[in-house]
Amino acid sequence: MKILVCISNVPDTTSKINFTEGDTKFDTNGVQFVINPNDEFGLTRAMWFKEKQGATVHVATVGGAQTEPTIRKALAIGADEAIRINAEPTDGFFVARQLAEVAKNGGYDLIIAGRESIDYNGGMVPGIIATLLDMNFVNTCVSLEIEGTDAKAVREIDGGNETIATSLPLVIGGQKGLVEESDLRIPNMRGIMMARKKALHVVEATDAPTMTADVKFEKPAAKGPVKLVDAGNIDELISLLHNEAKAI
Amino acid sequence: MKPDLFEAPDYYHLDDLLSEEHLLVRDAARQWVKRDVSPIIEEYAQKAAFPKQIIGGLAEIGAFGPYIPEAYGGAGLDQISYGLIMQEIERGDSGVRSTASVQSSLVMYPIFAYGTEEQRKKYLPKLATGEWMGCFGLTEPNHGSNPGGMETKYKDMGDHYLLNGAKLWISNSPFADIAVVWAKNEEGRIHGLIVERGMEGFSTPETHNKWSLRASATGELIFSDVKVPKENLLPNKSGLGAPLGCLDSARYGIAWGAIGAAMDCYDTALRYAKERMQFGKPIAAFQLQQKKLAEMITEITKAQLLAYRLGQLKNIGKATTAQISMAKRNNVEMAIKVAREARQILGGMGITGEYSIMRHMMNLESVITYEGTHDIHLLITGADITGHQAFK
Ligand SMILES: Cc1cc2nc3c(=O)[nH]c(=O)nc-3n(C[C@H](O)[C@H](O)[C@H](O)COP(=O)(O)OP(=O)(O)OC[C@H]3O[C@@H](n4cnc5c(N)ncnc54)[C@H](O)[C@@H]3O)c2cc1C
């Protein structure tokens, strides 16, 4: 089985978020980047397929040279090869188009992407890859087992789970549940040393239209101070909820 | 103890100067400390025990001999990677960092640099995995800052050496499998010998009741007529320069390690100051607390730049003993001052084990003393710039 794990390079969750150029660009100054958490759950599940079922695992990302530490980490965790598509990830369609091209050329049986990246939360990439490649697709995937070409996937649905029988080739949009947080791996020194020698291919981007442009980013409004209302004073509470919070 | 919410300060974007591999190595150590050291370290410090269960993890993140070549089980990393690993470990606890420093710079380094090929092959791979732990015996009851006066000595008995003497304040001694011991031969010249646990006449009593480095085991090495096989002598360097060469390497690691302890104190105090309300405001809004925090980040940033440049010099083999002394002295004092100020920012909470600051503060009292005291490092700089040695 040949697996491609699509990895997005995202700001660490503790990063301070700021925008530049008239609030149209994310300010990366001083920001640390990590493997998108949803992708890391997928990568860790892929490692399981590698170790238990002899799968080959490649990782791919769309991004400039600055994303290489992130994919090198995936190699240190145990992926066999990495591919960097040398382009700025402008929007979901553009990224999916690039990954689909790499996936098509590589002949993968299983493509694991994250349900969404935690930076722009687009949530479109795995679905568009599946569409472009005409593959089966399971989104919000919380469990995946594979026997030969049969796949059993569990999908998170509102208030419960749905178990789906499908087959390879398959694209999944993964998330926590594929593995648990405690299963995530810290690269060890042996892995880091081996990662030095593993191939990191840089390929040029395929022509693809960018269909959207960022017009403006806004941060959520700062939280106001808490107002405490006397327990007996229901009228004031209702008036505040109605007139100030506009919640009722 | 409170959950570890550490966010590393990087005020001058030093990360931009680090290579992809530096970042990978540093972040792995950082994650490991958060996962495996922070949750348990306070308990071990409180009960004054070394957490042996983390030895495997230390080996996995490359803390044992990161710059020793791969052929001997090391990771073949550069000196900046070594420094970053020490920084991250000491961010967790100086005692744990001490264990790693001793294993790497004071045990593996002399065997690698002064040992025979057979000695390297026999010891280094097992030390790199933590299967064997080592300690380094230089200090004696009567000779601390002046190790050249040591009394431990050995005699050539034809087919073996006979070792007699005692060492004090030896990190890792109570559980170490081997000891690199510095002793004088009959001509009074200092040589290194590898003494193994189990050799007759060799014992390692533990030193109790320390208020500092409580999560690190410290003890004595006592040799009474210990027969040391001749092949256990490190042949390729002798004289005081041999142990001092190891200390250069360990002190370099400490210069980075101290930054880790300071970062942890600063980060804890900054978070606390933003959350703790007094007089209707977060205490971070008061000028006196801002002064403390602003000075801390300034000093940490300066120390980072000093360590980074020293790492570059070390990578090209140009770092001098005096330059290393300056960085060890400056950065450890910086860390102690940061710890003391940070503790005050936490008020009463600062004295509890809920937070790491007081533990760091007490640990650093050892760090400022071992591997050359604060005074001795100043005298090394003084001698270097004036040409006059003032410590003899
Ligand atoms: C927790 C811990 C772990 C240690 N681990 C090890 C280890 O693993 N291996 C090892 O070999 N040693 C180890 N040491 C020993 C350490 O290196 C010594 O404590 C240190 O070198 C100082 O020696 P001393 O304690 O004998 O102090 P002294 O040398 O007696 O110094 C006492 C004071 O006098 C000052 N002083 C001394 N000489 C001069 C001078 N010429 N001019 C001005 N002032 C002077 C010193 O600065 C100091 O303030 C450890 C120590 C501690 C506390």
Give the model confidence (pLDDT) of B202-220 as tens digits: 999 999 999 999 999 999 9
Per-residue burial over B20-42, b if 16 or more Cβ lie within 10 Å, else e, is bbbbbbbbbbbbbbbebbbebbb
The size of the A-B interface in CB pairs under 8 A is: 48
Question: Does B171 sit in the ligand 1 pocket, CB within 6 Å?
Answer: yes
**Mutation choice for A interface testing from B21, B68, B89 by most A CBs within 10 A:** B21
Give me the pLDDT at residue A244, please.
86
Nearest Cα residue in chain B from A34: B27
Q: Are B231 and B305 in contact (CB under 8 A)?
A: no
Question: Does B139 sit in the ligand 1 pocket, CB within 6 Å?
Answer: yes
| pLDDT higher than 90, residue A222 | no
Residues of A in contact with B15 (CB under 8 A): 32
Token readout for B17 is 């100067």
Residue A247's pLDDT band, with cuts at 50, 70 and 90, is: confident
Q: Are B184 and B153 in contact (CB under 8 A)?
A: yes
The whole-angstrom separation of Cα A51 and Cα A35 is 21
The whole-angstrom separation of Cα A86 and Cα A98 is 10
Is A187's Cβ below 8 Å from some Cβ in B?
Answer: yes
Q: What percent of chain A has pLDDT over 90?
A: 82
> What is the whole-number distance in angstroms between the Cα of residue B55 and the centre of ligand 1?
27
Q: Give CA separation, A185 vs A40, A42, B111, in Å.
A: 9, 12, 33
Residues of A in contact with B10 (CB under 8 A): 30
Strand partners, A150: A147, A167
Torsion of CA A110, A111, A114, A116, to 10 degrees: -130
Token readout for A237 is 């509470």
> What is the whole-number distance in angstroms between the Cα of residue B371 and the centre of ligand 1?
7
Q: State yes or no: is B371 an active-site residue.
A: yes
The whole-angstrom separation of Cα A162 and Cα A147 is 19
Q: How far is C-alpha B377 from the chain's CA centre?
A: 16
Residue A73's pLDDT band, with cuts at 50, 70 and 90, is: very high
Query: Mean of the per-residue pLDDT values for chain A?
Result: 94
Residues of B in contact with A68 (CB under 8 A): 20
Q: Which residue has the higher pLDDT, B368 or A231?
A: B368
DSSP annotation of B140 reads B
Strand partners, A155: A141, A162
Q: Are A100 and A61 in contact (CB under 8 A)?
A: no
Q: Are A61 and A85 in contact (CB under 8 A)?
A: yes
Residue A194's pLDDT band, with cuts at 50, 70 and 90, is: very high
Q: Are B41 and B28 in contact (CB under 8 A)?
A: no
Strand partners, B203: B222
User: How buried is residue B317: exposed, middle or buried, by Cβ count under 10 Å (0-12/13-18/19+)?
Assistant: exposed
Give me the pLDDT at residue A130, please.
98
Q: Which atom of ligand 1 is nearest to the CA of B372?
A: 21
Give me the pLDDT at residue B347, please.
97
Q: How far is C-alpha B283 from the chain's CA centre?
A: 34
The reply to whether residue B10 touches residue A30, judged by beta carbons under 8 angstroms, is yes
Q: Whose CA is nearest to atom 9 of ligand 1?
A: B170
Instruction: Please provide residue B182's backbone torsions phi and psi, each rounded to the nearest 5 degrees.
Output: -100, 125
With the most atoms of ligand 1 within 8 angstroms of its CB, the residue from B104, B139, B207, B381 to mutate is: B139
Q: Are A26 and A42 in contact (CB under 8 A)?
A: no
Task: Read off the amino acid at residue B372.
Answer: G
Residues of B in contact with A69 (CB under 8 A): 20, 23-24
Give me the pLDDT at residue B279, please.
97
The whole-angstrom separation of Cα A61 and Cα A68 is 9
Low-confidence ranges of chain B (pLDDT < 50): none
Domains of chain B, CATH where assigned: 14-129 (1.10.540.10), 134-238 (2.40.110.10), 241-386 (1.20.140.10)
The whole-angstrom separation of Cα B195 and Cα B202 is 8
Strand partners, A160: A157
The reply to whether residue B13 touches residue A189, judged by beta carbons under 8 angstroms, is no
Domains of chain A, CATH where assigned: 2-220 (3.40.50.620)
The whole-angstrom separation of Cα A100 and Cα A132 is 7
Give me the pLDDT at residue A225, please.
77
Q: Whose CA is nearest to atom 14 of ligand 1?
A: B169
Which stretches does DSSP call E strand in B46-140? Answer: 134-137
| pLDDT higher than 90, residue A211 | no
User: How buried is residue A30: exposed, middle or buried, by Cβ count under 10 Å (0-12/13-18/19+)?
Assistant: middle
Give me the pLDDT at residue A13, please.
87
Q: Which of B220, B299, B333, B371 is catalytic?
A: B371
Helix (H, G, I), strand (E, B) or coil at B345: helix
CB atoms within 10 A of CB B386: 9
Task: Read off the amino acid at residue B125.
Answer: P
Pairing state of beta strands B202-203 and A33-35? unpaired
H/E stretch holding A202: strand A200-204
Q: Give CA separation, A86 vs A79, A201, B72, B185, in Å.
A: 19, 10, 38, 64
The reply to whether residue B28 touches residue A187, judged by beta carbons under 8 angstroms, is yes
| pLDDT higher than 80, residue A16 | yes
User: Model pTM?
Assistant: 0.93
Q: Are A4 and A82 in contact (CB under 8 A)?
A: no
Place of tokens 């300034």: B298
The whole-angstrom separation of Cα A73 and Cα B25 is 9
For the residues A160-166, what does the mean pLDDT come to? Answer: 96
Q: Are B110 and B72 in contact (CB under 8 A)?
A: no
| B70–chain A nearest CA distance, Å | 9
> What is the whole-number distance in angstroms between the Cα of residue B179 and the centre of ligand 1?
19
For the residues A87-111, what does the mean pLDDT come to? Answer: 96
How many residues belong to chain A? 248
Sign of CA dihedral A48, A49, A55, A61: negative
CB atoms within 10 A of CB B349: 16
Cis peptide before A169 (omega within 30 of 0): yes
The whole-angstrom separation of Cα A217 and Cα B301 is 32
| pLDDT higher than 90, residue A29 | no
Which stretches does DSSP call E strand in chain B? Answer: 134-137, 153-156, 160-171, 178-184, 190-196, 202-203, 218-229, 233-234, 277-278, 281-282
Helix (H, G, I), strand (E, B) or coil at A61: strand
Torsion of CA B251, B252, B256, B257, to 10 degrees: -30
For the residues A144-161, what does the mean pLDDT come to? Answer: 96
Q: Give CA separation, B345 vs A31, B189, B276, B340, B363, in Å.
A: 27, 51, 10, 9, 19
Residues of B in contact with A30 (CB under 8 A): 10, 13
Nearest to A73 among B7, B24, B66 (CB): B24
H/E stretch holding B313: helix B287-315
- Report the complex ipTM: 0.87
Question: Does B75 sit in the ligand 1 pocket, CB within 6 Å?
Answer: no
Is A74's Cβ below 8 Å from some Cβ in B?
Answer: no
The reply to whether residue B70 touches residue A193, judged by beta carbons under 8 angstroms, is yes
| pLDDT higher than 90, residue A246 | no
Question: Does B134 sit in the ligand 1 pocket, CB within 6 Å?
Answer: no
pLDDT tens, B73-88? 999 999 999 999 999 9
pLDDT tens, B258-286? 999 999 999 999 999 999 999 999 999 99
Nearest Cα residue in chain A from B6: A14
Q: Are B227 and B352 in contact (CB under 8 A)?
A: no
